[in-house]
Chain A
Amino acid sequence: MSRILTMARAGREALDWEMERRSEIFVLGEDVYNFGGIFGTADGFGAKYGADRVINTPISETGFIGMAAGAAMAGMHPVIDLAYIDFIGVCYNVLLNTASKTHYMSAGQVKVPMTLMIGTGGGYNNAAQHSQCLHATVAHIPGVKVVYPSNAYDAKGMMHTSLRDENFVIYLTHKGTAGVGWMGTPIKTTLSEVPEEPYTVPFGKIAVTREGTDVTLIGLGMSVHECLKAAVDLARDGISAQVVDLRSLAPLDRDGIFAAVSKTGRMVVADEDYLSYGVSGEVIASVVERDPRVLRAPPVRVCTPDIPIPFARPMEQHILPLAGRIADAARMICTRKTEQ
């Protein structure tokens, strides 16, 4: 049996299933007990599992995320809800120097199996400290797996995979895609048929979300949905756009990216994170390092420019990598003469 779920419900279902069966899994974070997490990641878990396994923490991110790492080293599998990625500034050391490096530094003797769920992204006028993506900032750390489902099917499958992984996994969800109350009506393309049974979605595999022949639009999280909108718009102009969902940043499916782009010869990478030193450049490198000749036009990045996210709507809408900017970029490289 399957039904249509939001990403938040789908991810929660996987966590619930694993928690029912595995006593080493417990949840901790701010407002997880009463509220089920600000973005509904643990909705109803407080009542179901009790305060021992659903731990409402003080606002002490260094403390409780560091504790999660310690609990993981001692044989548990903590699942942490850190509502907004903007808050990693407070606890970054745990990510950077402990959870990510212990397995390596101990030559594999000490494992740190833990799952850190974080909400990312803007577009809802919450200004510079509550709208960032920062996925490159975490994906840059060696020793961390970073996954980024963009629809309910993957949200569930990747949550199962995260919880069965023996490593530190950062499980990102763009707030606008989660389908939770604060964020209004869920985006249609985030909803999917989700089987009731558990299943896994492997890390490090892109998904081709829409087939196309003229240009490859590559996105992650929210920008997948902006790419899908752009593809619809481009189709009206007779441009056939393929859409790729990265789904996983570390590991990154470089083979899959190369294969997809090779089919069309043109690529636009849409990334809501800051432009410079980011995933967008990494994706392009995955293609040009292997063989730049597959490209019929220079690759284009459509990202948030290197500025803090402004509050006011006209400014924020202007700087986000929305469908209009993505479609414009695609038109530009599709109409321009091939330079040989």
Chain B
Amino acid sequence: MSLTPELRRDMYRQMLRSRAFDDAMIGLYWVGKTPIFAFANGPLPGELHCSNGAEPVGAGVCAALDADDMITADHRPHHVAIARGVDVRRMAAELLGKKTGLSQGKGGHMHIYAPEVNFASSGIIAEGMAPAAGMALARRLQKRPGVALTFMGEGAANQGAFHEVLNLVGVMKLPFICVVQDNEWGVSTSKKESTAVERNSDRASAYGMAGEYVASNDPDDIYEAAARAMARARSGGGGTILELRTARLAGHFMGDQQAYIPAQMKQADPIPPYRAKLVAAGVLTEAEADAIAAAATAEIAEAVAFAQASPYPAAEEAFDHVFAA
């Protein structure tokens, strides 16, 4: 695989699908939550952590993956899920707690499970680390080519699980990639304030792994770094900490006023520069770029309509699925 025009168009498309999804969800989230804000109100209740600004991470890394690879993600999973090919209609329905949702309304937005594309997420910080390493181990035992990846924030890199698992990965030389999405903030806590080294990728040497940092939030660069890490993992070269500087444009969760962010730390939207770059490179015309945006918006609008029209699960269904039959 290489950075072909086709691949770049597709990454752009995935970024726009993710953005359209989150923008639609933000719109739905505020229904019923004004003038009195409460997590519990409206058609999309609970906490909502949107991926606006982080789309290049999902698009760039997932473009380097094959079907057999496995992903665990965190509380901010949409951009990765969408780029991985999780069904957006069923994901939208899950966020609305509908019967047609990925998990029939049991999971909600932090708990996205789509085994058909080897995707799972968890709302407990760094909880994706060990399961992903276990998936990598399973693939090795199964003599299958799959690599396992966990996607998490830079804040998660201070959990014990991060360090324990990286050591295991290093010792066992597992086909594993830890994608650290450095958006500078863990809720209201800055990376500088919480992390003793500037880059988590520098921590890799402590665990006998490779480390790479991509500062651009540009899917081209992210793709190429991910492809290198994948090649390393597939060839028995072991794991990688792939730290990607990215953005968190919609706050920690909906309702976060972000008063703690100083003006000079305001982050840039990665979508317009990538569009401009592709147009300048002749990969896309303006008209084609507009068409991709329109198609993404239309696809998500249809997904939202499907979700809204879907029924809720019956109350008694709460009792289903506690155990495998």
On whether the two chains bind one another, the answer is: yes
Q: Could you tell me which A residues sit within 8 Å of B by CB distance?
A: 30-31, 33-35, 38, 56-63, 86-87, 89-90, 123-130, 181-185, 305-308, 310-319
Distance in angstroms from B267 CB to nearest chain A CB is: 17
Residues of B contacting A124 in the complex (Cβ-Cβ under 8 angstroms)? 38-40, 45-46
Residues of B contacting A314 in the complex (Cβ-Cβ under 8 angstroms)? 97, 312-315
- Contacting pair A315 B45 (CB below 8 A): no
One of A35, A181, A182, A313 near B97 (C-beta < 8 A): A313
Distance in angstroms from A163 CB to nearest chain B CB is: 25
- Contacting pair B110 A127 (CB below 8 A): yes
Question: Interface segment, B151-159, B231-239, B285-293?
Answer: B151-159
- Contacting pair A307 B322 (CB below 8 A): yes
Q: Give 30 pairs: A residue, B residue, CB < 8 Å, sorted on A.
A: A30-B189, A56-B188, A56-B189, A57-B194, A58-B155, A58-B194, A58-B195, A59-B125, A59-B156, A59-B186, A59-B189, A60-B160, A63-B160, A125-B97, A126-B47, A127-B108, A130-B46, A181-B255, A182-B255, A184-B37, A184-B39, A185-B36, A308-B322, A310-B313, A311-B46, A311-B105, A313-B45, A315-B105, A318-B318, A319-B318
Residues of B contacting A318 in the complex (Cβ-Cβ under 8 angstroms)? 315-316, 318
Residues of B contacting A30 in the complex (Cβ-Cβ under 8 angstroms)? 186-187, 189
Q: Could you tell me which B residues sit within 8 Å of A by CB distance?
A: 36-41, 45-47, 94, 97-98, 101, 103, 105-108, 110-111, 122-126, 155-156, 158-161, 186-189, 193-195, 255, 260, 312-319, 322
| Further contacts, 10 of them, CB under 8 A, given A58-B189, A182-B39, A317-B315 | A33-B188, A90-B159, A127-B106, A130-B123, A184-B36, A310-B317, A310-B318, A311-B94, A311-B108, A314-B312
- Contacting pair B110 A315 (CB below 8 A): no
- Contacting pair B38 A182 (CB below 8 A): yes
Distance in angstroms from A81 CB to nearest chain B CB is: 12
List the B residue with the shortest CB-CB distance to A304.
B318
Name the residue among A33, A86, A124, A306 with the largest chain B CB count within 10 angstroms.
A124
Q: How far is the CA of A284 from the CA of B216 in the complex (A)?
A: 61
- Contacting pair A129 B40 (CB below 8 A): no
- Contacting pair A129 B111 (CB below 8 A): yes
Residues of B contacting A185 in the complex (Cβ-Cβ under 8 angstroms)? 36, 38
Residues of B contacting A311 in the complex (Cβ-Cβ under 8 angstroms)? 46, 94, 97, 103, 105-108, 111
Name the residue among A33, A307, A315 with the largest chain B CB count within 10 angstroms.
A315
Residues of B contacting A62 in the complex (Cβ-Cβ under 8 angstroms)? 160
- Contacting pair A127 B123 (CB below 8 A): yes
Q: How far is the CA of A37 from the CA of B189 in the complex (A)?
A: 11
- Contacting pair B318 A316 (CB below 8 A): yes
Name the residue among A56, A123, A125, A319 with the largest chain B CB count within 10 angstroms.
A125
- Contacting pair B46 A307 (CB below 8 A): no
Interface SS of chain A: helix, strand, loop or mixed? loop
Residues of A contacting B108 in the complex (Cβ-Cβ under 8 angstroms)? 125-127, 311-312
Q: How far is the CA of A302 from the CA of B94 in the complex (A)?
A: 29
Distance in angstroms from B120 CB to nearest chain A CB is: 13
One of A31, A33, A59, A89 near B158 (C-beta < 8 A): A59
Q: How far is the CA of A38 from the CA of B319 in the complex (A)?
A: 31
Residues of B contacting A129 in the complex (Cβ-Cβ under 8 angstroms)? 110-111, 122-124
One of A59, A90, A183 near B194 (C-beta < 8 A): A59
Distance in angstroms from B172 CB to nearest chain A CB is: 23
List the A residue with the shortest CB-CB distance to B123.
A129
- Contacting pair A59 B260 (CB below 8 A): no
List the B residue with the shortest CB-CB distance to A316.
B318
- Contacting pair A315 B106 (CB below 8 A): yes
Distance in angstroms from B122 CB to nearest chain A CB is: 7
A58-B158 contact, Cβ under 8 Å, with A31-B188, A184-B37, A313-B45 = yes
List the B residue with the shortest CB-CB distance to A184.
B38
- Contacting pair B39 A126 (CB below 8 A): yes
- Contacting pair B188 A34 (CB below 8 A): yes
Residues of B contacting A87 in the complex (Cβ-Cβ under 8 angstroms)? 124-125
List the A residue with the shortest CB-CB distance to B195.
A58
Q: How far is the CA of A310 from the CA of B159 in the complex (A)?
A: 27
- Contacting pair B124 A90 (CB below 8 A): yes
Q: How far is the CA of A34 from the CA of B97 in the complex (A)?
A: 33
Residues of A contacting B45 in the complex (Cβ-Cβ under 8 angstroms)? 124-125, 313
Q: How far is the CA of A175 from the CA of B313 in the complex (A)?
A: 26
Residues of A contacting B94 in the complex (Cβ-Cβ under 8 angstroms)? 311
- Contacting pair B159 A60 (CB below 8 A): yes
Distance in angstroms from B208 CB to nearest chain A CB is: 22
Residues of B contacting A86 in the complex (Cβ-Cβ under 8 angstroms)? 124
Q: How far is the CA of A303 from the CA of B174 in the complex (A)?
A: 44
List the B residue with the shortest CB-CB distance to A83.
B187
Q: How far is the CA of A126 from the CA of B40 in the complex (A)?
A: 8
Q: How far is the CA of A143 from the CA of B110 in the complex (A)?
A: 35
Distance in angstroms from B307 CB to nearest chain A CB is: 12
Q: How far is the CA of A85 from the CA of B186 in the complex (A)?
A: 19
In order of increasing CB-CB distance, the 4 nearest A-B pairs are: A184-B38, A312-B97, A312-B105, A311-B108
Residues of A contacting B260 in the complex (Cβ-Cβ under 8 angstroms)? 34-35
Name the residue among B106, B155, B193, B255 with the largest chain A CB count within 10 angstroms.
B106
Distance in angstroms from B185 CB to nearest chain A CB is: 10
- Contacting pair A31 B187 (CB below 8 A): yes
A127-B315 contact, Cβ under 8 Å, with A59-B125, A182-B37, A184-B41 = no
- Contacting pair B188 A35 (CB below 8 A): yes
Residues of A contacting B106 in the complex (Cβ-Cβ under 8 angstroms)? 127-128, 308, 310-312, 315
Residues of A contacting B123 in the complex (Cβ-Cβ under 8 angstroms)? 127, 129-130
List the B residue with the shortest CB-CB distance to A315.
B318
